[in-house]
Amino acid sequence: MLVIKDLRVEVEGKEILKGLNLTVDDGMTAALMGPNGSGKSTLANTIMGHPKYIVTSGSIVFNGVDVTQMSAEERAKTGLFLSFQYPKEVSGVTISNFLRTAYNAVHDSKIGVLDFQELLADKMKVIGMSSEYLKRYLNEGFSGGEKKKAEILQLLVLDPLFAVLDETDSGLDIDALRVVSEGVNKFKTKNKGVLLITHYKRILEYIKPDKVFIMNDGLVVEEGDGSLVDKLELEGYGWLNK
């Protein structure tokens, strides 16, 4: 579903990704881990087409289509989704209006107000969000946990083919972590893919990865099954430089 080959990326003239290779198959949930500064968030933003991240060589192929030079909007329409590590506040735009606009932007068939409200109510039940949230401006005044729940609500409503989740677990207490994880698991099907970026094992106890990638210094340096997570818990990242 996602094939990244020899990807090199610069940010403000500095090379961050240095020939990275990564493949996530159809229906696979992959975890991406690594020390701070290894390039995980750079990879996430590059996959989604953030214009700040300049691809100097290599390719990103999603669902058989080379998206390397596509805009973020074009990538969203192919079925890519990014959940931000630090979701932005957007004053003056309610969650309900934002989500309906986003839904109509990425789907060929437009959805009416009443049908959308029914869809939204169904998805909100999954993550236990009150209808009162719909009247609030996007992420404005939200706690960290509320912002992450709003990101997962976007995921469930937009229903993409592939989700990149950038540290969705950061700042969550145990109850919010469980709810967010349930939302991700509801999204997952045999035809959907997930790349979950995280520092910690705890979310992987709820969202079981099929494969684990370890990044260091702009490259994927190790990949394997869930046992890699246990190794990190025991040894930290020091072994990467041995």
pLDDT digits (tens, 9 = 90+) for 197-228: 998 888 999 999 999 999 999 999 999 988 88
Is the pLDDT assigned to residue 81 strictly greater than 90?
Answer: yes
Per-residue pLDDT tens over the stretch 83-139: 987 888 899 999 899 999 999 998 888 888 889 999 998 999 888 888 888 888 998
CATH of residue 236:
3.40.50.300
154-183 average pLDDT score: 90
167: Cβ contacts below 8 Å, ≥ 6 apart: 41, 85, 197, 198, 199
Looking at residue 12, its pLDDT comes to 92
What's CA 105's distance to the chain center, in Å? 19
| Rounded distance between C-alpha atoms, residue 41 and residue 88, angstroms | 15
Q: Which long-range contacts (CB under 8 A, 24 or more apart) does 180-184 make?
A: 180/127, 180/148, 180/149, 180/152, 181/206, 181/207, 182/126, 182/127, 182/206, 183/126, 183/127, 183/149, 183/152, 183/153, 183/155, 183/156, 184/152, 184/155
Residue 241 reports pLDDT greater than 70: no
Domain count, the chain: 1
**What pLDDT shows up at residue 54?**
96
Token pair belonging to 229 = 């997570």
- The answer to whether residues 209 and 226 touch, using CB atoms and an 8 Å cutoff, is yes
Under a CB-based contact definition with an 8 Å cutoff, are residues 1 and 161 in contact?
yes
pLDDT for residue 29? 94
Q: Residue 228: left if φ>0, alpha if ψ -120 to 50, beta else—which one?
A: alpha
Give the model's confidence band at 30: pLDDT under 50 very low, under 70 low, under 90 confident, else very high: very high
Provide the pLDDT for residue 215: 94
What the block records as the tokens of 10 is 């610069």
How many other β-carbons are positioned within 10 Å of the β-carbon of residue 147? 18
Interval 44-72 mean pLDDT = 96
The token pair at 107 is: 């789907």
Backbone angles phi, psi at 162, to 5 degrees: -145, 130
Rounded to whole angstroms, the maximal C-alpha distance in the chain is 59
Of residues 157, 150, 136, the one with CA closest to residue 180 = 150
Structural domain boundaries enclosing 163: 2-241
Q: Chain-wide mean pLDDT for the chain?
A: 90
